């Protein structure tokens, strides 16, 4: 065997080694919209004062829902719309499931807080806390808290094998003044935040 063929074989071996070390990684973008309404459990004045004038029901039933859309830039965006209750930390422990149904092998799942979506709403100052977290390990979270502690990540949540899922929760706090400002009606979007879900092999 001549030196030229040996050199080609060595190059082919290096190329195969480089391919075997390559890893697959892709990012799924999610936008989390925060709306607000009054909490379902509240303190009311007693009948001696008769000043509240409120009915027993708020009329809002869809506190969280998930849809998807394409903003025209090629991305497939998952949109999670949640309602926070003014003045109360509102916590959804099963907001979104991240599943591995189609990859034949384990995937590592991470979350990364990117921040507010540009031009999303002029009312974001009413949102005092926004956290996306792993309910199985509440130390794994991204976002910002009402105490001012931010965490952008990425935070590794763990691995999911084929046909397994990781559940994500979300926690928000909406300032009570959103109600007097007329934007705590359950329909007005206060803010939209991007959280990327990153899958890697």
Average pLDDT value for residue range 87-97: 89
Query: Which stretches within 3-136 are classed as H helix?
Result: 3-21
Give me the percent of the chain exceeding a pLDDT of 70: 76
Residues 97-132: pLDDT tens digits? 888 888 888 989 999 999 999 887 899 999 999 999
Q: Provide the pLDDT for residue 4.
A: 53
**pLDDT, tens digit (0-9, with 9 covering 90-100), for 53-84:** 323 344 444 687 788 777 778 777 888 888 89
Whole-number pLDDT of residue 153: 94
Q: How far apart are CA 84 and CA 34, in angstroms?
A: 7
Sequence-distant (≥ 6) Cβ neighbours of residue 190 within 8 angstroms: 34, 35, 36, 84, 121, 123, 124, 126, 127, 174, 178, 183
Burial class, 155, CB count within 10 angstroms (exposed 0-12 / middle 13-18 / buried 19+): buried
Domain positions in the chain are 24-41+60-200
Q: Which residue has the higher pLDDT, 11 or 163?
A: 163
């Amino acid at each position: 065997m001549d030196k030229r063929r040996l050199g080609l074989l060595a190059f082919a071996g290096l190329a195969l080694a480089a391919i075997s070390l390559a890893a697959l990684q892709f990012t799924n973008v999610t936008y989390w919209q925060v709306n607000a309404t009054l909490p379902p459990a509240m303190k009311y004045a007693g009948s001696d004062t008769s000043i509240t004038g409120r009915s027993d029901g708020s009329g809002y039933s869809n506190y969280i829902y998930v849809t998807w859309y394409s903003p025209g830039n090629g991305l497939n965006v998952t949109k999670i719309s949640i309602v926070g209750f003014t003045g109360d930390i509102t916590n959804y422990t099963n907001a979104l499931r991240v599943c591995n149904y189609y990859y034949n092998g384990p995937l590592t799942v991470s979350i990364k807080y990117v921040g507010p979506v540009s031009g999303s709403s002029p009312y974001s100052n009413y949102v005092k806390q926004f956290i996306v977290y792993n309910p199985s390990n509440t130390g794994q979270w991204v976002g910002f808290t009402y105490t001012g502690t931010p965490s952008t990540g990425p935070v590794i949540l763990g691995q999911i094998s084929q046909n397994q899922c990781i559940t994500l929760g979300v926690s928000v706090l909406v300032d009570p003044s959103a109600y007097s400002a007329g934007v705590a009606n359950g329909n007005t979007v206060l803010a939209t935040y991007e959280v990327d879900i990153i899958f890697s092999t």
